[in-house]
A and B are shown apart, each in its own frame.
With several copies, the nearest count.
Chain A
């Protein structure tokens, strides 16, 4: 950095100069604390990973005949769960993300200010509804409410594979579970999108408006590009929750060990987390390892999904607008 060795200051100069201060204690403490916290996360994660791998190994080497449901192989057991996990989370995200962006925009740029604050508050509150309650609501209110619509869909649009019959008799299908998941992750995603949208520099909004942009054009020019990393972050948080949600899915879904894209039938693919919740209480021996192995798989799925998201965010980092 500097080519100053030649002019090493004299002893006297060093005394005179107040520039050469001791390393600042606050800075050291603060940056170390931050560093240690970051490392603590790595440590915790390493521990979790070690735990998952160590506890999974017995399942990998075990005879599949000992597993619940007697699958032909380990993958036969895991694969439908992987499918169900990704499928339900995707459905949830596809339904919830546009809505979340819509609500966030409504609050940040459409609603009157007073109303917006109130709405923001209500949405935040909903982020706190425990998953058990979502489960209760899903069983008691949502499933019966959507059943007529499902019947209508199978009768009239049954030729579309997604809506193929026979329709479930209780409405507790993967679509219902995905709706519950969507509703669950909606508040989190909305809250993050809203905060980011509100932070859009006024300068940029004004720039767009002064060019004669309509409100929507202003949003596409200034708000959404600025909020893009935040939207992706929020979506990832939501997706993480949807992928890992346990209780609500376990309570609402009518699962089977199958792979199907049909949305409205009684037999639905199960998710990894819900399957753990359903099977764990009665499992013992190698089946516990099996379930933990599925947990490891979920872990890896999340890893992959997040890597993709990060890649997308970083690809246009120069254009992020973050300073």
Chain B
């Protein structure tokens, strides 16, 4: 149920602009990997290449290789849709479907694919996913209300519930907790801990504590200056990155330990 991701010499471009340069790393299955780094260093850009979501942006393309369990994501004939069904994603900004009820939002991955699901299965799935995202108690009485009628934090948890409802093998999370309060954040972190038994998880975070709490490995990205591409500076066990990094930049960054 979980996959190993291998990235080789990856460059990501927005048209002519090279946003991320030369990333090589191996993400082990059943582990949590955190990406940290200053704003604009290309964390979002890079994480999106792991399920080919960058292709949605006109002009964005990659050079290099991303292997998921040895299969090249960018090989000929690979269907990005299947990639994304295996590699799920939660975004920085909550984006529930405004036309759907809360319940339908959770079931979106099933329903949008026009797959049939029995009412009881659906109910179970909705409850399980919402519980997983620590939202069940807050919305159980208004499952039929529109997905956009809840607070920002609730919406983000709804999006997480929606992502885990399709049970992907890898889950990418781009700052999933940046809109969440501590209780929800804790719930999500617990959830990540739990999910990592079965899934491969990659998370972008600005929160050092979060990175150090939840992740097994941490990758630090940095950017030399505006207009320059972001680079992977250091990638190692989380404990090493936070206690004894080998690169000066990493130390500088994590030593401002706060956030």
Binding site for B on A (CB under 8 A): 1-4, 7, 9, 13, 16-21, 23-24, 27, 113, 201-214, 217, 221-222, 225-226, 228, 316, 318-321
Contacts and interface: CB of A to CB of B under 8 A. Distances in A.
6 contacts: A9-B70, A19-B75, A21-B79, A207-B91, A225-B99, A319-B101
B58 A113 contact: yes
A47 to B, nearest CB: 32
Dominant SS at the B interface? mixed
Given A1-B61, A20-B77, A225 B97 contact: yes
B71 A203 contact: no
A1 B74 contact: yes
B180 interface: no
B98 A319 contact: yes
Contact of B162 (A4, A23, A211, A217): A211
Contacts of A4: 65, 72, 74-75
B197 interface: no
B84 A19 contact: no
B166 A211 contact: yes
Given A217-B112, A321-B148, 19 more contacts: A2-B62, A2-B72, A2-B74, A7-B72, A19-B75, A19-B86, A24-B81, A203-B95, A210-B89, A210-B91, A210-B163, A212-B82, A212-B86, A213-B81, A221-B100, A225-B97, A225-B99, A319-B146, A321-B97
Nearest to B66: A2
Contacts of A203: 91, 93, 95
A223 to B, nearest CB: 10
Interface in B70-129: 70-75, 77-86, 88-89, 91, 93, 95-101, 108-109, 112-113
A13 B70 contact: yes
Interface of B: 9, 51, 53, 56, 58, 61-65, 67-75, 77-86, 88-89, 91, 93, 95-101, 108-109, 112-113, 145-146, 148-149, 159, 162-163, 166, 168
A24 B72 CA distance: 19
Contacts of B78: 19-20
A201 B109 CA distance: 18
Contacts of B91: 203, 206-207, 210
Nearest to A20: B77
A95 to B, nearest CB: 27
Nearest to A215: B81
A225 B100 contact: yes
Q: Which of B73, B148, B163, B168 has the most CB of A within 10 A?
A: B148
B68 A19 contact: yes
A19 B79 contact: yes
A2 B82 CA distance: 18
A113 B59 CA distance: 11
A17 B67 CA distance: 11
A210 B99 contact: no
B79 A209 contact: no
Nearest to A212: B85
A210 B97 contact: no
A204 B112 contact: no
A222 B97 contact: yes
Q: Which 6 A-B pairs have the closest CB atoms?
A: A212-B85, A225-B99, A211-B109, A321-B98, A203-B95, A2-B74
B232 to A, nearest CB: 18
B64 to A, nearest CB: 7
Contacts of B101: 319
B139 to A, nearest CB: 15
A310 B68 CA distance: 44
B188 to A, nearest CB: 17
Given A3-B63, A17-B71, A321-B148, A212 B98 contact: no
A209 B53 contact: yes
Nearest to B85: A212
A169 B58 CA distance: 53
A222 B148 CA distance: 13
A19 B61 contact: no
Given A19-B82, A207-B91, A211-B109, A226 B63 contact: no
A316 B101 CA distance: 11
Contacts of B146: 318-319
